[in-house]
Amino acid sequence: MKLKKQVTVCGAAIFCVAVFSLYLMLDRVQHDPTRHQNGGNFPRSQISVLQNRIEQLEQLLEENHEIISHIKDSVLELTANVEGPPALLPYYMSNGSWVVPPEPRPSFFSISPQDCQFALGVRGQKPELQMLTVSEELPFDNVDGGVWKQGFDISYSPHDWDTEDLQVFVVPHSHNDPGWLKTFDKYYTEQTQHILNNMVSKLQEDPRRRFIWAEVSFFAKWWDNINAQKRAAVRRLVGNGQLEIATGGWVMPDEANSHYFALIDQLIEGHQWLEKNLGATPRSGWAVDPFGYSPTMPYLLRRANLTSMLIQRVHYAIKKHFAATHSLEFMWRQTWDSDSSTDIFCHMMPFYSYDVPHTCGPDPKICCQFDFKRLPGGRINCPWKVPPRAITETNVAERAGLLLDQYRKKSRLFRSNVLLVPLGDDFRYDKPQEWDAQFFNYQRLFDFLNSKPDLHVQAQFGTLSDYFDALYKRTGVEPGAQPPGFPVLSGDFFSYADREDHYWTGYYTSRPFYKSLDRVLEAHLRGAEILYSLAVAHARRSGVASQYPLSNFALLTEARRTLGLFQHHDAITGTAKEAVVVDYGIRLLRSLVNLKQVIINAAHYLVLGDKKSYRFDPESPFLQMDDTRLNHDALPERTVIQLDSSPRYVVLFNPLEQERLSVVSLLVSSPRVRVLTEEGQPLAVQVSAHWSSATDMVPDVYQVSVPVRLPALGLGVLQLQLGLDGPRTLPSSVRVYLHGRQLSVSRHEAFPLRVIDSGTSDFALSNRYMQVWFSGLTGLLKSIRRVDEEQEQRVGMEFLIYGTRSSKDKSGAYLFLPDGEAKPYVPKDPPVLRITEGPFFSEVVAYYEHVHQVVRLYNLPGVEGLSLDVSSLVDIRDCVNKELALRLHTDIDSQGTFFTDLNGFQVMPQAWGPRDPMEQNLDCVYCPHHRPWQVICSDRAGGIGGKTDRGPNGARILLICWPCPRRCSPGGIGRSCPCRPTSTPCRSWPASRTHRAASRCTLPRPWASPASMMLEVILDRRLMQDDNRGLGQGLKDNKRTCNHFRLLLERRTLGREVQDGPSTSYPSLLSHLTSMYLNTPVLALPVAKRQPPGPALCSFRPLASSLPCDFHLLNLRTLQAEDDSLPSAETALLLHRKGFDCGLEAKNLGFNCTTSQGKVALGSLFRGLDVVFLQPTSLTLLYPLASPSNSTDIYLEPMEIATFRLRLG
């Protein structure tokens, strides 16, 4: 107690000094003659004087911010060890509620005013093409365009090229899916290896031949199986430009469901492999098959130093519009970019597909005649009934003229006289005969065309970069620069429709079980990368690296490649055949188990007090896994800690770069349990029954929940003992509502339980921040009232069912074609409700026939207590052509605007408006399944007080999912509902000028509707038929699937209202942190019971202090040594500085958060390690951006991702 008083006095003294210093500075502004003299140098204009004083005030505010930050650091340092961990000892109120007293340590929320300017700042000149505006203005009328069905007739004059020849680049390619109708290995064995083997021999036959390849996953497997002579030949082909590796990622990823961590990781894996094995550095992106395009991908490619890219699957109406306005080539710019630093040149293919009939020109009947694999006698032919003819001296003039006509027509859609003509399709060139047929016949055509100067055309084989280089040369700019007259575009290309109203939005939620498993693997990979890198660095510094299992690096490499493989646009999308999905699932589970082993080994070393006592024994792991899965399609089963007379220890890993206060729940074998810190200090715990069903307790298994404060990226240690601690071992109380059903309910003497046969009255749960009301009949959420507000916010939940059309076109793995409005879900029996209440959390569980929903409210200060935790266990395996949805109704009036995120990286505005008549029958479309996904709906009213006809003004509701599916709105999809994929826990918000409600999820995706703002989450879909997009199967392999969400309600502060017409939006810092809590849960690793007493276990604090709370440590990735299976001494540090909105209330949040104007001192970041080498590089480490420097202070602009080559010692 004496020490605590000393700390309090010391903290108060520091604060007084700081306040007095600020007073002196303000006084200096008024009286300092030097400043007055300096002011005299300005013009006497009142505006100039005012501007000078504003600048002085800004400087003083920044100085004050720094002083407050120093005060915070000093007080936290002084209080860090005074009371040890949180002493949160709850007590029970007479009204039946639990109260958790505030912690003795202070919390700080100190945001620099400068850091708030980004979300408010002007973004420079608006791009000519903003996709939200384009989508709102297009007619989507689907008029028959003639031979180009989805376009229009194209005319030209033969003299159009008199002054400048048409330059044609025919680009041979073969699109190889790493799994779709066959598994990855079967495709490789039966087709891909033959394509690549033929490539080597056939390209060497003629130096004029060219070929491009994209999927490094296949290339790496082939490389491991070829001899040195063939490898040397491949390097020569790359070196002389005959072979180009385009994009260079591990796969061609889906851009709707993939999280930006995984997109970056597969790009790094591919680029690092290419650099090491081929010495190749990709220059151009090639994405012909993803089902829609996110602006996240061009940002990542540009930061990887690519200068150009190509896309194909864009809504046919947008293609038609861009073709008509000569906008098929543009500079793709990020919405926040004010100086064009994110610009990348993008080519959009104009026609229906990337196959040969749809690439030479507008008429597929003619283009098909120039696909020489379809020559008579082959296995495939032309659907238009006119076959190709081999090119001979007698027909070359006629055939060349016919082809040139198509080239000329296609070229009239672009702004330059350089033309790109892809020549390929899926798994093409697997036979030598096709190589000969295509290359020989086209070369004869080229030779003829090039020999006729009066035709004004030069045609040749080329790579993708050959085409872009020629275009840059023709337009007189450097590679990657904006050619004169070419437009700038911002936005995304979701949702994709290839014909009629067939929107490819079903895949956003197809096979959600595997989408969820992907996110679990991703979180484990990031955690394993960080812990492994830190453990190896500390082991090397301590001189015990020889005893550490460095060979775990091979497990990391395999997991990187597994995660990368699953980002493929037929894997994470859920659009592969059932056997292929099983193959993916087995790979994912194997890598997940391996990553748990990497984490266990690293955590074992790092928590040892005496590192020299470390011994690695693979046969007897020191730590156990937190959970296990029996097979790839089973849900995890949590490890049960067996308690006896000896203490049991548990190591807790916090993967966040922020210190966190979380409730950690463990399964134990007895309700008589005490939990202590590593120093032996007892902690208050909540003990609950563990339930196997609505009414059955699991015998001899109990849940103990304890609030724990864990260091950033660190490890904590808990001790569990058998026995009771009266004031601190606190049982949960339970009420079960049977609603008239004759069911027997398990009881246990340790837990008060009350059974209510027919109660239907609404009831509420509450914590220090909010009161949450539920329906007594359905058990579903009805409303939320924040404790500082009198008015409730309506947030009602209901379950819905979508069917599919009765016509020939039905929903399938790709498409969402509903039969109209969603209908209420009607279970056979009323739900059984179980309400659990305790000191640290309370929850409502509603058991329906096909879904069990849990809504949990944490009674903790900080991030955990500020939002609702919502999870669902879904099982629709007995349904036929049904899709189960969860809808949230709110009374937020967003005036037709809402926001969804993309890939967990950025947030885009959406709007509702008039619908296209063709789409009136569609209820809505849903958008992707990502990792942090957010959908944001906000009331746009100006004031804080509410109007009775609008609901509370200024509300923002944010739904954060992990991953999560989402839909757009009743009324159709087209112009105003280009449902965007979302990604960071599914963030979406209806956002008003003064309120925001947010929700985060880990599985399905939310959508928003204009009618009193609704959010909808698609939980699962079961469809019995194919949707005619090539798969040949329905979706009938459903699994029991868990979904996880956070629902966050925020209010705007007075004077921080949103302006009209936002081009983008940003989550609050609270929203970002809520998303991170959801996506990176604490891992609990019990010390194996059979371990004898050994050296003391100590918490591990790798960082000297938490990173600024707008920084995210994306990865700390150990780089490969010359030996593929071993680590080098260098790591890749990836940091992301997030853009955030300061305009939402940030008082009494209960957690620490400071920003630093984008500056981080890396040299002092890692506790116990020195940064001995630091070099900024391109995103994938192929290009150094500066020379290594002695300075380790770095700066990032908001939204930017930066990569550093780092050596710790």
Which residues have a catalytic role annotated?
A: 289
Contact assessment for residue 925 and residue 979, using Cβ atoms and an 8 Å cutoff = yes
Helix 260-277 × helix 296-303 angle, to 10°: 30
Distances from the Cα of 190 to the Cα of 182, 194, 222, 430, 580, angstroms: 10, 8, 12, 9, 15
Q: What is the dihedral of CA 884, 888, 889, 891, to 10 degrees?
A: -160
Neighbours of 389 (CB within 10 A): 15
Q: How far apart, in whole angstroms, are the C-alpha atoms of residue 211 and residue 174? A: 9
Q: How far apart, in whole angstroms, are the C-alpha atoms of residue 367 and residue 154? A: 15
At 94, which amino acid appears? S
What is the torsional sign of CA 11, 15, 21, 25?
A: positive
947 forms bridges with which residues in the sheet? Answer: 951
Exposure string over 974-990, b if 16+ CB within 10 A, otherwise e: bbbbbbbbbbbbbbbbb
Neighbours of 807 (CB within 10 A): 9
278 forms bridges with which residues in the sheet? Answer: none
Exposure string over 457-488, b if 16+ CB within 10 A, otherwise e: bbbbbbbbbbbbbbbbeebeeeebbbbeebbb
Write down the residue that tokens 């309370």 correspond to: 842
Q: How far apart are the first and last CA of the chain?
A: 40
Contact assessment for residue 1133 and residue 1173, using Cβ atoms and an 8 Å cutoff = no
Helix (H), strand (E) at residue 1057: none
Q: How far apart, in whole angstroms, are the C-alpha atoms of residue 876 and residue 880? A: 9
Under DSSP, the state recorded for 1026 is -
Nearby residues of 575 by Cβ (< 8 Å), 6 or more positions away: 180, 507, 510, 569, 813, 814, 1029, 1031
- Nearest CA to 315 among 78, 117, 531, 503? 503
Neighbours of 617 (CB within 10 A): 8
Contact assessment for residue 982 and residue 1027, using Cβ atoms and an 8 Å cutoff = no
Helix (H), strand (E) at residue 403: helix 396-411
Helix 512-542 × helix 578-607 angle, to 10°: 30
Nearest-5° angle of CA 96, CA 102, CA 105? 165
Q: Are strands 211-213 and 243-245 parallel, antiparallel or unpaired?
A: parallel
Q: How far apart, in whole angstroms, are the C-alpha atoms of residue 183 and residue 190? A: 11
Structure tokens at 58: 């800004």
Write down the residue that tokens 């590679």 correspond to: 479
Helix 260-277 × helix 552-566 angle, to 10°: 120
Peptide bond into 33 cis (omega under 30): no
Distances from the Cα of 1031 to the Cα of 182, 190, 570, 881, angstroms: 11, 19, 10, 17
Contact assessment for residue 488 and residue 480, using Cβ atoms and an 8 Å cutoff = no
Contact assessment for residue 844 and residue 737, using Cβ atoms and an 8 Å cutoff = no
3-state secondary structure (DSSP) of residue 528: helix
HSE (CB half, 13 Å, CA atoms) of 257? 41
Q: How far apart, in whole angstroms, are the C-alpha atoms of residue 902 and residue 856? A: 27
Q: How far apart, in whole angstroms, are the C-alpha atoms of residue 867 and residue 658? A: 18
